[in-house]
Homo-oligomer: A and B are copies of this chain.
């Protein structure tokens, strides 16, 4: 069972956190052929935190988990904080293959997205 764990920064503004859950639901519907389980979590400031998000995936039966950082820049959060949280959690589930995906800003599709957003300006 393959799981996808979308990790956003987390905000004190609940509406921003809710957006991430809505996005994860949409993602679940769009990648059902590739991932059996999709959850969302946050690096800080909001529930669910990364260790609990990983636990949710494992509880749902995940044998592999891709942690997907919903971040644009390769700042400290992407380079240090998320890997640290994930690496500290890994030993709890030695039977599960847990990996971290590249952050979004690294994607080749970002150009298309930027130009599409610019062109949709009213």
The chain A residues found within 8 Å of chain B, CB to CB, are: 4, 6, 8, 11, 13, 15-16, 19-20, 23, 26-27, 30-31, 34-35, 66, 68, 70-76, 99-122
Contact = CB atoms under 8 A, between A and B. Distances in A.
A70 B113 CA distance: 11
A110 B8 CA distance: 14
Nearest to A115: B31
A102 B113 CA distance: 11
B113 A117 contact: no
A41 to B, nearest CB: 14
A17 B38 CA distance: 32
Contacts of A74: 15-16, 19
Contact of A73 (B20, B27, B113, B118): B20
A8 B30 CA distance: 28
A11 B113 contact: no
Given A107-B117, A111-B30, A99 B122 contact: yes
Contacts of A30: 111, 115
A66 B121 contact: yes
